Structure 1
Amino acid sequence: MLKIFFSLLLFIASANALEEMGIKGTGGCVLSQNNHVEVGFTAYKTPLKIGVGGTFDKVSYTPNKISGSSFRDLFVGSSVVIDTKSVNSHNKGRDAKLVKFFFDNMSSQTITAEITGYTPDKRYKGKPKTGIFMVAVTMNGVTRNVPMRYSYFQGKMKAEGVIDLFDFSANRSLQAINKACYELHQGKTWNDVTISFTTEVKASLCHAK
C-alpha cells in the first residue's frame, strides 16, 4: 500500500512539473536551450512616440542550466552581460550617437541582467504558454527589478518589459542624446524603453501541446 501511495505522489509531482512549463506528455520530458540569447530594445522619440528598435551584437549569456524539466530550471538564475558599444539599430550613424551621447555618459560600458523569479499563467491547450519573469537589471551602477512578460510557442521563448531611465539615474544620458538628436526627435526623447530577450527552447521526450 505504501509503495502505491509513494508512486502516486511521484506521478502527481511529475505532472505538476510538466504543467508548470506548459507541456504534457508521457515517459518524462526534457527542455533544452543553447547558449544564445538575443537582447533587443525599443526606444521612443518625437511627441508621437515613434519607436526605434535595435539589438546588441555582443551579449554574453550564462544559462542556469542547459537542460531541465521546467522553465524554472532553465531560466531562474540565468544572466547576461551586454556590451553597450555593440548596439545595433541598423543605422551606423545613429549607433555612433547612441554610444557617444547615451551609453558613454553612464558609469559602465556594460548592462547586466539576471532572472530571479518566474510565475506562470494558467495554461490553455493549443495556446502560447505565458507568464512573468522577474529580472534584476543593472545599468549605470543601479539595479532595479523589472517584470518581463514571456510567451513560449513553437520552441521560441520571448520576454518583454519596460524600464524607466530615470530609475537608473540616466538623466544625463537622456539629456545628452535628446540634445544631439533634437531636430530629429522634435525635442522629445522618451524616458521609457521597452526591453526584450528571445531564445529557443527545445522540448524532447514529451508531447508539446
Structure 2
Amino acid sequence: MKKFVYSLIICFTVFQITSCKSEAKKEAETTKEEIKTEKKAAFILQDANNSINWVAYKTTEKTPVKGQFNKVNITAGGEADTAKDAINNAEFSIPVSSIFTKDTSRDFKIQKFFFGVMDQTELLSGKLVLENDSIGYANLTMNSVTKKLPFKYTLNGKEFSLNATMKITDWEAQNALDSLNTACKDLHKGADGVSKTWNEVALNITSVFK
C-alpha cells in the first residue's frame, strides 16, 4: 500500500513539473507573439517634431503677421516604413485653441473674432495626399467646408516640408475676415489710413521624424 501511495506521489509530481514546463513554454510563446505585434513602424508622424507655421497679412502695404499652431493630432494613418508613406493619406486635426503669435491679445482676437464666427470652430482637419515627389494637396476642412489646398513639398531623409498659400474665402469665410478686421480696425491701418486684412495666408509645415 505504501509503495502504491509513493508511486502515486511520484506520478503526480512528474505531471505537475511537466505541466508547469508546458505552461511556461506557452507563456514564452505568447510573450514573443506580443513583442512581434507591438513592433512599431519606422516612421510615426504623431511622434515627429511637427511645426505648423503661418503668415497672415494686414494693412495696404501687406505687413506680415506670423504665427503657429502648437498642437496637431494625427487621427488616421501616419505610420509606415518610409517617411513618404507615413505622410501620404495621413489624417489630422488641429485645435484652434493652440494658436500662438507671441501676443496673447492677438491670439484671443483671432480665436474669438475669426475662428469663433465660423461653423464648427474648434478644429481644423484634413488629409494629406502626395501626388508625386514634389506636389500634393490637403483636403482641408474649415468652417464646415472641405476644399483642396495644393502644396509643394520636399522630403530630405527624415525631414518633410510643405509650402502652400490659402485664400480664406475659398472656405466661405469672408464674414470671419470682416469680423477680425473690425475687431482689429486701428491695428490693421497702414500709412494710408486704410484698415485691411488680407484674404491670403501662407503656410509652412515641417515634420522631422525621430
Q: 1:63 and 1:51 mapped to 2: Cα distance?
A: 33
What CA deviation, in whole Å up to 9, does each residue of 1:123-145 have, x standing for no partner?
Answer: xxxxxxxx112110000011110
Q: Contact 1:113 / 1:136 at 8 angstroms: preserved in 2?
A: yes
Q: 1:177 and 1:42 mapped to 2: Cα distance?
A: 15
The equivalent of 1:93 in structure 2 is 105
1:153 and 2:125 correspond: no
The equivalent of 1:32 in structure 2 is 43
SS in 1 for 2:141: strand
Give the unaligned 5+ runs of structure 2.
Answer: 1-40, 190-194
The equivalent of 2:35 in structure 1 is none
Q: 2:156 and 2:117 mapped to 1: Cα distance?
A: 38
1:170 and 2:181 correspond: no
Displacement after TM superposition at 1:34 (Å): 4.2
The equivalent of 1:198 in structure 2 is 206
1:112 and 2:112 correspond: no
CA RMSD in angstroms comes to 1.9
> % of aligned pairs identical?
28
Q: 1:66 and 1:41 mapped to 2: Cα distance?
A: 25
What CA deviation, in whole Å up to 9, does each residue of 1:126-173 have, x standing for no partner?
Answer: xxxxx1121100000111101111122353211110111111111111
Aligned residue pairs, count: 162
Structure 1 or 2: larger helix share?
Answer: 2
Give the unaligned 5+ runs of structure 1.
Answer: 1-29, 121-130, 203-209
The equivalent of 1:9 in structure 2 is none
Q: Contact 1:63 / 1:75 at 8 angstroms: preserved in 2?
A: no
More relative contact order, 1 or 2 (CA 8 Å, 6+ apart): 1
SS in 2 for 1:77: coil
What CA deviation, in whole Å up to 9, does each residue of 1:14-70 have, x standing for no partner?
Answer: xxxxxxxxxxxxxxxx96244142222111111111111111123212462423246
SS in 1 for 2:89: coil
Larger radius of gyration: 2
1:134 and 2:137 correspond: yes
Aligned AA (2:153): Y
SS in 2 for 1:189: coil
Aligned in 2, Cα 1:64/1:102: closer, same or farther, shift over 3 Å? Answer: same
Q: Contact 1:113 / 1:137 at 8 angstroms: preserved in 2?
A: yes
Aligned AA (2:158): G
Q: 1:145 and 1:70 mapped to 2: Cα distance?
A: 22
Q: 1:70 and 1:58 mapped to 2: Cα distance?
A: 20
Q: 1:110 and 1:65 mapped to 2: Cα distance?
A: 19
The equivalent of 2:79 in structure 1 is 66
Structure 1 or 2: larger strand share?
Answer: 1
Tell me the TM-score normalised to structure 2 length: 0.71
